[in-house]
Structure 1
Amino acid sequence: MLDEMVFRSEDVPPPDRFDYWAALLRRTHAPMELHSECADDFRATQRVLDLGAVTVWSATFQPQMFRRTPKLIRQSDPETYSLSFGVRGTGAGVWKHRETQYKAHDLFITSTSLPSEIHSTGVTTLAVEVPKSLLPLPYDVASRIVGAPVTAHEGMGALLAQFLTQLTADTTPYQPSDRPRLGMVLTDLVAALFAHILETDDSLPSETHQRTLTLQIKAFIREHLHDPHLTPATIAAAHHISTSYLHRLFRDEDATVAAWIRRLRLEAARRDLTDPVLHATPVHAIATRWGFPRATDFSRAYRTVYGTTPTDHRHRALHGHE
Structure 2
Amino acid sequence: MLAEMAFNTQDVFVADRFARWREHVLRTYVPVEVDSDHVANFAASQRILDLGGVQLWTMEHSPMTLRRAQKPIRQSDPELYHLSLPLRGTMGLISSDQEAEYEPYDLVLHDTSRPHLIRATTSHSEDTILGTGLFIPRKLLLLPQKAIDSLIMRRLSAREGIGALLAHFLTQVTRDAGSYRPDDGPRLGMVAVDLLSALFARALDAGNSYPPESHQQTLVLRIRAFIQANLHDPQLTPRTIAAVHNISTSYLHRLFQHEEETVAAWIRRQRLERACHDLADPAQRTIPIHAIAARWAFRHAADFTRAFRSAYGMPPKDYRNQSSQHCRADSC
Residue 90, structure 1, aligned to residue 92, structure 2: yes
Contact 1:35/1:65 (8 A) holds in 2: yes
- The whole-number CA distance in structure 1 between the counterparts of 2:166 and 2:276 is 30
**Counterpart for residue 142 of structure 2:** 137
Residue 228, structure 1, aligned to residue 228, structure 2: no
Amino acid at match of 2:154: P
- The whole-number CA distance in structure 2 between the counterparts of 1:189 and 1:212 is 11
**Kindly, what percent of the aligned residue pairs are identical?**
30
**Counterpart for residue 292 of structure 2:** 286
5 Å-filtered alignment, 1:196-235, equals 196-199=202-205, 203-235=209-241
Measure how far apart 1:316 and its partner are: 0.6
**Counterpart for residue 25 of structure 2:** 25
- The whole-number CA distance in structure 1 between the counterparts of 2:228 and 2:326 is 29
**Counterpart for residue 63 of structure 1:** 65
5 Å-filtered alignment, 1:89-168, equals 89-94=91-96, 100-105=98-103, 106-110=106-110, 115-123=113-121, 124=129, 126-129=131-134, 136-138=141-143, 140=145, 143-144=148-149, 147-152=152-157, 159=164
5 Å-filtered alignment, 1:167-186, equals 177=179
1:160-194 CA distances to partner (integer Å, 9 max, x unpaired)? 798699x69xx8xx8965999xx89x948645532
Counterpart selection for 1:72 from 54, 67, 76: 76
Aligned residues: 299
- The whole-number CA distance in structure 1 between the counterparts of 2:167 and 2:271 is 27
Q: Tell me the SS of whatever aligns to 1:63.
A: strand
Amino acid at match of 2:90: R
Q: Tell me the SS of whatever aligns to 2:89.
A: strand
Residues 1:291 and 1:253: Cα distance change in structure 2 (over 3 Å):
same
Residues 1:64 and 1:4: Cα distance change in structure 2 (over 3 Å):
closer
Unaligned runs of 5+ in 1: none
Contact 1:151/1:157 (8 A) holds in 2: no
**Counterpart for residue 240 of structure 1:** 246
**Counterpart for residue 8 of structure 2:** 7
Residues 1:71 and 1:144: Cα distance change in structure 2 (over 3 Å):
same
1:134-180 CA distances to partner (integer Å, 9 max, x unpaired)? x7524626733651411549755984798699x69xx8xx8965999
Unaligned runs of 5+ in 2: 122-128
- The whole-number CA distance in structure 2 between the counterparts of 1:139 and 1:44 is 41
5 Å-filtered alignment, 1:233-312, equals 233-312=239-318
Contact 1:273/1:310 (8 A) holds in 2: yes
Measure how far apart 1:263 and its partner are: 0.8
- The whole-number CA distance in structure 1 between the counterparts of 2:74 and 2:264 is 40
Residues 1:119 and 1:40: Cα distance change in structure 2 (over 3 Å):
same
Contact 2:198/2:218 (8 A) holds in 1: no
Contact 1:45/1:60 (8 A) holds in 2: yes
1:51-92 CA distances to partner (integer Å, 9 max, x unpaired)? 774433333332331357365345xx7x66522338325231
Q: Tell me the SS of whatever aligns to 1:116.
A: coil
Amino acid at match of 2:117: H
Measure how far apart 1:266 and its partner are: 0.7
Measure how far apart 1:201 and its partner are: 8.0
Measure how far apart 1:291 and its partner are: 1.8
**Counterpart for residue 125 of structure 2:** none
Q: Tell me the SS of whatever aligns to 2:275.
A: helix
